[in-house]
Amino acid sequence: MQQSKYWRRLNGVIINRPIEDEITTMLSAEKENGHALKVCIGTDSQVKGAVTEFATVIVFIRKGKGGFMYIHNDSTLRKMSIKERMLVEVGKSIEVAYPLCDIFSSYNIDMEIHVDINTNPSFKSNDALKDAMGYIMGMGFTFKAKPHAFASSSCANKIVH
């Protein structure tokens, strides 16, 4: 199954340039308008028959003034255990965050990686919690899991279903 290579806004508008360029331009405009931003990156997935669909989101929060997000979807036919799928979600979020972190730093914007992993050990996804936390924090990023991981648990979740 072919991965889509593009990003889009929630309203469906496709981004026709590298996401780094889009975000740099947007951050400049947001700064000009006096908005203080925070960014949260997260991925969620859903298995539909033989296909596993992924949605990765970059969510920008305007402190006290709402927010907006960019969305990327892709899918695979590869069968995965729940733990592997959770770690693939984390990997997709880090792949997005890593090239953007210098841009966010230059605008003094805090970034968090959100994971759709339950902190309650009775849930199967919890098997991946320690690995995911180590991976994200080892890369130098701030880690948030359920119930504080709205980018993956709410935003990406709505896109992938």
Q: Per the domain annotation, does 90 fall within a domain?
A: yes
Each residue's pLDDT tens digit, 7-29: 999 999 999 999 999 999 999 99
* CATH value at residue 12: 3.30.420
Q: How high is the pLDDT of residue 126?
A: 86
Q: Per the domain annotation, does 23 fall within a domain?
A: yes
Each residue's pLDDT tens digit, 92-142: 999 999 999 999 999 999 999 999 998 888 888 888 999 999 999 999 999
User: How many structural domains are present in the chain?
Assistant: 1
Q: Domain limits at 118? A: 7-160
Residues 11-50 as b/e (b if ≥16 CB within 10 A, e otherwise) read eeeebeeebeebbeeebeebeeeebebebbbbbbbeeeee
- Provide the Cα torsion 143, 99, 70, 142; round to 10°: 10
